A and B are shown apart, each in its own frame.
Chain A
């Protein structure tokens, strides 16, 4: 054995040894690259899973994300709630977290993914090609609860460039099924332009694919995607509904006005504009698909870098979270009335005015 070949043999042994302790079979890869978000589920939690359960290609990637399942004693329909599609839209994330920490389901099931794009949550790089509002905001927010001060991650609109795996298209991003003009290249990393997703593309497209598989496999009946928009802009305080379920949305918006004095605008999905959750979830799955937008002060075009996304006097976080949750509850009530066999009933949420007035602190663990 020459010196050279014995070195090769030694290297091979070392390689086998290292493979042995890191082999995928021996080690749980779930969440390998993820922030360990401090979410403290209610006793109503049945189990947790991962987006990668629906598309194994996400396993061990920064695009995987935890899925929380709440199951009632009585059979019924299934509600899906996603927060953090855009990780700078913190009210969507915190509305999902508030659900996780308080929910009790009596009839049917509720499935919650608080960080739909877990790559975007750690990504606040000020990329020059992205508009300022997409990354503006604190790195973390803090909320004082009965157990002390808790911290929640605040991220950016887009998937981390380093995670996407494929460079942004230089000629701009065109959804594979779209006949519209190209969007900016970075929109390739916008989860809400990527549905129904694909497995042979970037990480964002793979996340979208996994979410679609979840909606199909779990036979989701009602699906919500929580967003925020620039306070004072056209989108803020809006519910967008797939045309097939716009009547459910309209009924819910009436009830929100009558019950809480909350007025949200209504828009149907534009079926020509491809890749958006409410459009593709509604078209590609059985689910009635909705998206809610609340006003985020940091997303105003000329907002200061230190805009207060928690204690804004006009749109405090509690009021924005309350809008998402009560809009969802109103839709679920209308849906359940119309589909008694697929009813969804849950409890545990703080009152609308309590949450809007007191903020999240008293209602998080």
Chain B
């Protein structure tokens, strides 16, 4: 019995390992990066893309109409900031409407979608989670800082969407998997 449990654990670990790796670069350049929930994490991801030398345009409030196929990959920096939403003059409801329209248009244009959640536990909670769910359903790949997945929400949503999930310990470690995702 003990051995059986061990073997199961080993298989599960292998599965999790395979599941966590995005083995091949899939995302086309250039990218368009936007902030879903208007947190300042958006600024951090711009630095990551700069340092990874991925060409991109950045627009925290970009609307679906602006997607014209010139950007091939949509990078969604997900996590709600009530301060950020207030400063941008947009309600959480309007932000969700913008997000859903953006996801729909991205699907029509067959864009790759990379979800970045790098704010940890501070970017979780009821408001953030309403943004996280639709983004994860539409995503091709997700990179999250592990402290934001302590309850396993991202693991569960990634499994449901059958996408790879890269978990990193801190924001600066998100650069390598993000760079590796681009062709």
Is B66's CB within 8 Å of the partner chain A? no
| Identity of the chain B residue whose Cβ is nearest the Cβ of A252 in the assembled complex | B47
Is A354's CB within 8 Å of the partner chain B? no
> In the complex, what distance in Å separates the CA atom of A250 from the CA atom of B58?
15
Q: Would you list which residues of chain A between 323 and 348 have a CB under 8 Å from chain B?
A: none
Task: Tell me how far the C-beta of A266 lies from the nearest C-beta in chain B, rounded to whole angstroms.
Answer: 5
Given contacts A246-B40, A263-B171, A267-B40, contact A254 B87 (CB under 8 A): no
- Inter-subunit contact B170/A257 (CB<8 Å): yes
Is A20's CB within 8 Å of the partner chain B? no
- Point out the residues of chain A lying under 8 angstroms from B41, CB to CB: 266
- Inter-subunit contact B43/A247 (CB<8 Å): yes
Is A26's CB within 8 Å of the partner chain B? no
Q: Would you list which residues of chain A between 270 and 287 have a CB under 8 Å from chain B?
A: 270-272
- Inter-subunit contact A267/B170 (CB<8 Å): no
Is B83's CB within 8 Å of the partner chain A? yes
- Inter-subunit contact B43/A270 (CB<8 Å): no
Q: Would you list which residues of chain A between 222 and 271 have a CB under 8 Å from chain B?
A: 234, 246-247, 249-251, 253-254, 257-258, 263, 265-268, 270-271
- Inter-subunit contact A247/B171 (CB<8 Å): no
Which single member of A234, A266, A272 contacts B87 (CB below 8 Å)?
A272
Given contacts A254-B171, A254-B172, A257-B170, contact A270 B44 (CB under 8 A): no
- Inter-subunit contact A270/B47 (CB<8 Å): no
Counting chain B CB atoms within 10 Å of each CB, the highest count among A234, A250, A267 belongs to: A250
- Inter-subunit contact B172/A250 (CB<8 Å): no
- Point out the residues of chain A lying under 8 angstroms from B172, CB to CB: 254, 257-258
> In the complex, what distance in Å separates the CA atom of A26 from the CA atom of B172?
59
| Identity of the chain B residue whose Cβ is nearest the Cβ of A256 in the assembled complex | B172
Which single member of B40, B43, B171 contacts A257 (CB below 8 Å)?
B171
Q: Would you list which residues of chain B between 46 and 98 have a CB under 8 Å from chain A?
A: 46-48, 51, 81, 83-84, 86-87
- Point out the residues of chain B lying under 8 angstroms from A271, CB to CB: 87
- Inter-subunit contact A266/B40 (CB<8 Å): yes
Which single member of A251, A265, A272 contacts B47 (CB below 8 Å)?
A251
- Point out the residues of chain A lying under 8 angstroms from B159, CB to CB: none
Task: Tell me how far the C-beta of B80 lies from the nearest C-beta in chain A, rounded to whole angstroms.
Answer: 14
Task: Tell me how far the C-beta of B51 lies from the nearest C-beta in chain A, rounded to whole angstroms.
Answer: 7
| Identity of the chain A residue whose Cβ is nearest the Cβ of B44 in the assembled complex | A250
Task: Tell me how far the C-beta of A21 lies from the nearest C-beta in chain B, rounded to whole angstroms.
Answer: 56
- Point out the residues of chain B lying under 8 angstroms from A247, CB to CB: 43, 46-47
**Chain B: interface residue total (CB-CB under 8 A):** 17
Which single member of B51, B81, B86, B122 contacts A254 (CB below 8 Å)?
B51
- Point out the residues of chain A lying under 8 angstroms from B83, CB to CB: 267, 270
- Point out the residues of chain A lying under 8 angstroms from B44, CB to CB: 250, 253-254, 266
Task: Tell me how far the C-beta of B125 lies from the nearest C-beta in chain A, rounded to whole angstroms.
Answer: 12
- Point out the residues of chain A lying under 8 angstroms from B40, CB to CB: 246, 250, 266-268
- Inter-subunit contact B171/A270 (CB<8 Å): no
| Identity of the chain B residue whose Cβ is nearest the Cβ of A234 in the assembled complex | B122
> In the complex, what distance in Å separates the CA atom of A267 from the CA atom of B43?
10
- Point out the residues of chain B lying under 8 angstroms from A253, CB to CB: 44, 171
| Identity of the chain B residue whose Cβ is nearest the Cβ of A268 in the assembled complex | B40
- Point out the residues of chain B lying under 8 angstroms from A268, CB to CB: 40, 43, 84, 87
Task: Tell me how far the C-beta of B56 lies from the nearest C-beta in chain A, rounded to whole angstroms.
Answer: 13
| Identity of the chain B residue whose Cβ is nearest the Cβ of A265 in the assembled complex | B122
- Point out the residues of chain B lying under 8 angstroms from A266, CB to CB: 40-41, 43-44
- Point out the residues of chain B lying under 8 angstroms from A254, CB to CB: 44, 47-48, 51, 171-172
Task: Tell me how far the C-beta of A57 lies from the nearest C-beta in chain B, rounded to whole angstroms.
Answer: 34
> In the complex, what distance in Å separates the CA atom of A257 from the CA atom of B102?
32
- Point out the residues of chain A lying under 8 angstroms from B47, CB to CB: 247, 250-251, 254
> In the complex, what distance in Å separates the CA atom of A247 from the CA atom of B47?
8
- Point out the residues of chain B lying under 8 angstroms from A272, CB to CB: 86-87
Given contacts A249-B43, A250-B47, A253-B44, contact A270 B86 (CB under 8 A): yes
- Point out the residues of chain B lying under 8 angstroms from A234, CB to CB: 122
- Point out the residues of chain B lying under 8 angstroms from A270, CB to CB: 83, 86-87
- Point out the residues of chain A lying under 8 angstroms from B171, CB to CB: 253-254, 257, 263
Q: Identify the A interface with B (CB < 8 A).
A: 234, 246-247, 249-251, 253-254, 257-258, 263, 265-268, 270-272
Q: Identify the B interface with A (CB < 8 A).
A: 40-41, 43-44, 46-48, 51, 81, 83-84, 86-87, 122, 170-172
The 10 tightest CB contacts between A and B, nearest first, are A257-B172, A250-B43, A266-B40, A250-B47, A258-B172, A250-B44, A246-B43, A251-B47, A254-B172, A254-B47
What would 5 more interface pairs be, CB under 8 Å, given A263-B170, A265-B122, A270-B83?
A: A247-B46, A250-B40, A254-B171, A268-B40, A270-B86
Task: Give 12 CB contacts A-B under 8 Å.
Answer: A246-B43, A249-B43, A250-B43, A250-B44, A253-B171, A254-B47, A254-B172, A266-B40, A266-B43, A267-B83, A270-B86, A271-B87
